[in-house]
Amino acid sequence: MNRILISKDIYDRKITKKFVKQISQQILKELQLDNVELSITLTDNENIRQINKQWRKKDRPTDVLSFPIDEKPPGYKYKILGDVIISLPFAKKQAEETGIPYQEEIIRLLTHGILHLLGYDHEVCPAEAKKMFDLQDRIVNRIISSQTQQEVS
């Protein structure tokens, strides 16, 4: 059993807290993670730009940011993975530009963010990037495939 905390600063009918929680649980299951806690914030371009500027010294919006914590406080049931922050307007624009459904882009960004919380880093070297993106693609494809099967049933 995992604990997923979701904060939504922006209105968006297509990307609900329920959808984000369900997808996050599927990602954690694919990664065989149990008894972990994860915080997800869904926000706008201005908020993510400010966070990106403060923590990464990049004064521009981005799609997803991850802040690993990776600790288990004494007596606490869950290991805390960290925080994932996604800009919904940025994700929506990115989905339109690449021609994929908006919800699929959110699945990709959640997977990407969670992999960063686990220590994967595509900016280290090409081999690490390949390892991370291969795993990301495998997880995203399994989740999309399982959603498609549920819709058909």
**% of the chain beyond a pLDDT of 90:** 93
Residues 42-101 pLDDT 10s: 999 999 999 999 999 999 999 999 999 999 999 999 999 999 999 999 999 999 999 999
pLDDT at residue number 150? 65
* Residue 90 token pair: 């940025």
pLDDT at residue number 149? 65
| Dihedral sign for Cα atoms in the order 14, 88, 19, 105 | positive
d(CA 44, CA 2): 26
Q: What is the mean pLDDT of residues 109-126?
A: 95
Is the pTM higher than 0.75? The answer reads: yes
pLDDT at residue number 91? 98
pLDDT at residue number 68? 96
d(CA 79, CA 145): 29
- pLDDT beyond 70 at 131: yes
> What CATH class has 3-152?
alpha beta
- pLDDT beyond 80 at 152: no
- pLDDT beyond 60 at 153: no
Domain ranges of the chain: 3-152
pLDDT at residue number 151? 62
* Listed residue (114, 39, 37, 118) closest to 78, CA to CA: 37
Average pLDDT, the chain: 95
